[in-house]
Structure 1
Amino acid sequence: MRSPLPILALLLNALIWGLSWWPLRQLHAAGLHPLWATALMYGAALVGLLLLRPGSWRSALAHPVLLLLALSSGLTNVAFNWAVTVGDVVRVILLFYLMPAWAVLLAWKLLGERPTPMALVRLVLAFSGVVLVLLPADGARQGLFTGLSLADGLAVLGGFMFALTNVNLRRMHALPGQARMLAMFAGCTIMGAAAAALAWTLGLAPGLPAPQAPWLLIAGAMALLMLLSNWALQYGATRLPASVTSVVMLSEVLFASVSAVWLASAELPARTLAGGALILLAALLAATARARAPGQRIGAQPLAGHQG
């Protein structure tokens, strides 16, 4: 009988990320902007990782190509954390999970992998879902883009960078796992700090506040949870087929949506539900594509969980 622990580990990873919007909003309410929170949380996690694996930095420095992974994963988390803090959680999560659609286009451009007919079907499903999610309540097509919020833009950017991160991980699969993990945590720390400083300079975010016990405790707890979620993802993903991992990780959308409705009294309009169903259907088809035809096309690449 197969142990349930790998699936439980993946569910734990999805639960942590699906609920991450709530502590980020608590930090924001306590005076810590999500960009500064990203830098501090991942900085603490990076220090913890270096203490656990002190030799990992030498391995990372030996592979300069990891800078690309650091950049994409850093921007992924900067955009996602900012978006779920200031925007509608369900809407942000759905737009973020356009990742399988972006992955098809990025692999076509960067890896020279022409999309399969089913990959093109998934593209149509995903972007049709986006139109439904973004379309104003009055259904006016001219308001499709004029009504975009900062959170919407950040969610789309985060999903695109998430797809680029997965493409980078695939291209760098032969590199040591510890080096890849270190690069991703370092990227989140540096990009978080750089984005926070830039946003502060432009007047889009406040400066780093003086240390206070409430947000220090929450940020410290979040750093530990990110280390735990990364371990859970590595444990589960290495013991299960990629298609199973991808399907289980989609539970993050469920955790985020239910928690937003429960804790933030979020509403789920019929248009959003319909658009979300199309986006998730596209992601589910991408997740199960490898099980049907175990090729090497990125169009059939399974959806990875947050790895930073």
Structure 2
Amino acid sequence: MPRAVIADQFGPPDTYALREYDPGQPGEGQLRVAIKAAGVSFVDVLTARGEYQFKPPLPYIPGSEYAGVVEAVGPGVTGFAPGDRVFGSGLGGIFAEAALFNAANVSKIPAGMGFAEAAVFPVNYQTAWHALVDRAAAKPGESLLVLGAAGGTGYAAVEVGKYLGLHVIASASSPEKQAAAKAGGADAVVTTGAADWRDQVKAANGGKDVDIVFDPVGGEATDLAFRTLGYGGRHLVIGFTGGLTALKTNLPLLKCASLVGVQMRGHALNRPEEAASNRVKVMELAAQGHFHPAIAAKFPLEDYVAAMELAFSGKAAGRVVLEMG
């Protein structure tokens, strides 16, 4: 019987156990997928701990990104067949060897992309695309400062930014993370936490203020980064791995800059056609070789605790992946 990482109450990774779990056969509009790889993110672990902004029902199987092979097709589903290589995302239920998914939210893996890459592709790259194209209306030649540039969404923002013709400045805390960001195409790197960080950013942008900030970090970094913006700048709020912050409202006023929220779930619920179009677009670009997710470490499903702890630590220069068999 297939297995899943599951718990009857929220808590740290060692609260969870690997148990037998059979999701059953697919119903109307569903696919049963044998999961081959799953992305492990900070938010996945935060949710598993019961500390995210919404709490899913218990018992809970963590995870939000996967890639695998179709095992069975439910009634009313067209365009898929057993054996198809697919990927997608969901709200939990992913750290498992098999799961059921609505076919409308499943896509075929682009040729040449492996399961591990596909598992960490959709959420990160759709987020970066939505943020830069829809929310920031980025224009070629503008400058983009990416915080947490070696993290999942940060690295995706570096690659998407370069594709869009932006001057990309990557902020990362270690030489390993800076090297990862440079490999993704960053034009310049600056050292997160450095006393002269703002001076580094300005120098990296030719002495000018920045047009766009991509911020999945939050905390003290948000205030500092917002101050790097110029007239008409846009600060994209992606997440808050560093904690929440209280930005003084005089800063947007004085700089004539905007604080812009970015949330994939809200986008999918309120503008589903636009979200679907974005998904198709980033998949096309991946198939053309423009995007290549960075993977820092792979763990077998049995080592889910170590994988979750590494993802939660923020120390990985790239994404963490669980592999099932």
**If the TM-score is normalised by the length of the shorter chain, which range does it land in?**
under 0.3
| Relative contact order higher in (CA < 8 Å, ≥ 6 apart) | 1
* Structure with greater helix percent: 1
**TM-score, normalisation: structure 1:** 0.28
Task: State which structure, 1 or 2, has the greater radius of gyration over its C-alpha atoms.
Answer: 2
* Structure with greater strand percent: 2
